[in-house]
Amino acid sequence: MVCLASALLFQCSYSQISGNMNYRNQVQYSDSNINIGTPAVNPVINENIISVKALANIKAEQYVAIFSITQVGGSAEEVNDLIDQRINTSLAGIKTMKGVEAYIDMISFVPVYQYNVEKKIFSKKTYNEVPAGFELKKNIHIRFTDPSQMNEFISVLSKNEIYDLVRVDYFSTTIEAVRKELMNKAKAALQEKVKNFESLLGESFTTATKNISDGYRVSLPTEMYKSYEAYNSSSMALSKFSNISQANKSTTSYYQPILDKEFDFVINPVIHEPVIQVMYEVKLTISREKEKEKDKNSKTNPLENKEINHYILVTPTGEVKNLNLLAKP
């Protein structure tokens, strides 16, 4: 019942807006394997990977809804007059609403054909394509700031036989500021994790070799809808019956945001409507292999770092010999 209530929220408040395109293009998303930045490094001996994942939920400030219109007619003049009448009547009602702008996007204008049969005495029938009219398609782009106005848009457009809501885009001017906030908070969280690792291992990473990578990812509400079919089929074994007519099951969709269970911290964690979600991940790879090799060499070769003085000995016969004498510590 929870999923069904979520799917029907659009009818009540219009704060959840998707579009008809999601009925065919369902996004199957799993938040259990998020790859924001570069791929994870394969673990090796004496290598530590420390990562911080952050999520921000941003409420949209502006929206753009796209409605599709299709008109057919017997002539080019007729089809243009009919679609212009529908659009102009709709715009007259929409433009009176506060903070609303509209734009008409031309999509296609093509002839429509039908087949005429040509009968011949000594051959089979021939089917010829002949022009039968024209088909004109346009889109209405409506820009608005209050999602509750969708109810008014649909009321005006439906009176002019415009029903197809293609999609709704979400926009926010604060994404860049949110990215910087995520980066700063993730930096502090990463430094705290490094200190904890140093404390657990009992050593410092100051002189260790380090590599760092980070990345952002933005998910829009239009991309985060899933299909949902609510029904309960009969429990009787269908193989016992020869003629079975099953009822058509209603399929709808619902908004499924990225869950915050795998993130180190979340900005604006409580959401009740579709939001723009910004993810940030930073990874720090610490390689301690060189440090351990250096310590090992200093212990096994105690003479390695000691100073060596070179002397030359000339014998009474004039022979020259090199003498390597170890200097006193």
Instruction: Provide the CATH number for the domain around residue 136.
Output: 3.30.70
> Is it the case that residue 193 has pLDDT exceeding 50?
yes
Residue 324 lies in a domain: no
Nearest to 169 by CA among 230, 118, 233, 103: 103
User: Could you give the number of structural domains in the chain?
Assistant: 2
Residues 51 and 157 in one domain: no
Residue 196 lies in a domain: yes
Residues 104 and 116 in one domain: yes
Q: What is the mean pLDDT of residues 45-61?
A: 90
Nearest to 48 by CA among 263, 211, 185, 265: 211
Phi-psi region of 133 (alpha: psi -120 to 50; beta: other; left: phi over 0): left
pLDDT of residue 92: 94
CA distances from 321 to 171, 316, 326, 328 (A): 84, 12, 16, 22
Please indicate whether residue 13 or residue 122 has the higher confidence score (pLDDT): 122
Residues 221 and 134 in one domain: no
Residues 105 and 28 in one domain: no
Residues 131 and 101 in one domain: yes
* Per-residue model confidence as pLDDT tens digits over 106-163: 999 998 877 766 666 666 666 666 677 899 999 999 999 999 999 999 999 999 999 9
Residues 259 and 190 in one domain: yes
pLDDT of residue 15: 42
Residues 88 and 195 in one domain: no
Residues 139 and 192 in one domain: no
- Helix, strand, or coil (residue 171): strand
Nearest to 137 by CA among 90, 92, 83, 85: 83
pLDDT of residue 44: 54
What pLDDT band is residue 31 in, cutting at 50, 70 and 90? very low
pLDDT of residue 40: 45
Nearest to 264 by CA among 49, 50, 59, 33: 50
φ, ψ dihedrals at 81, nearest 5°:
-65, -40
Q: Could you list the residue range(s) of the whole structural domain that residue 18 is in? A: 2-61+172-227+251-287
> Is it the case that residue 45 has pLDDT exceeding 70?
no
* Per-residue model confidence as pLDDT tens digits over 299-321: 555 555 555 566 676 677 767 67
Residues 35 and 110 in one domain: no
Mean residue pLDDT across the chain: 78
Residues 67 and 90 in one domain: yes
Whole-angstrom distance, CA of residue 177 vs CA of residue 146: 23
Residues 52 and 180 in one domain: yes
Asked if 7 and 225 count as a contact pair (C-beta separation under 8 A), the reply is no
* Per-residue model confidence as pLDDT tens digits over 271-286: 999 999 999 999 999 8
Lowest-confidence pick of 9-13, 111-115, 160-164, 289-293: 9-13
Residue 37 lies in a domain: yes
Please indicate whether residue 242 or residue 243 has the higher confidence score (pLDDT): 243
> Is it the case that residue 33 has pLDDT exceeding 70?
no
Residue 103 lies in a domain: yes
Residue 329 lies in a domain: no
Residue 235 lies in a domain: no
What pLDDT band is residue 241 in, cutting at 50, 70 and 90? low
Residues 121 and 198 in one domain: no
pLDDT of residue 304: 52
Whole-angstrom distance, CA of residue 156 vs CA of residue 150: 10
What pLDDT band is residue 248 in, cutting at 50, 70 and 90? confident
Please indicate whether residue 51 or residue 117 has the higher confidence score (pLDDT): 51
pLDDT of residue 308: 54
Residue 297 lies in a domain: no
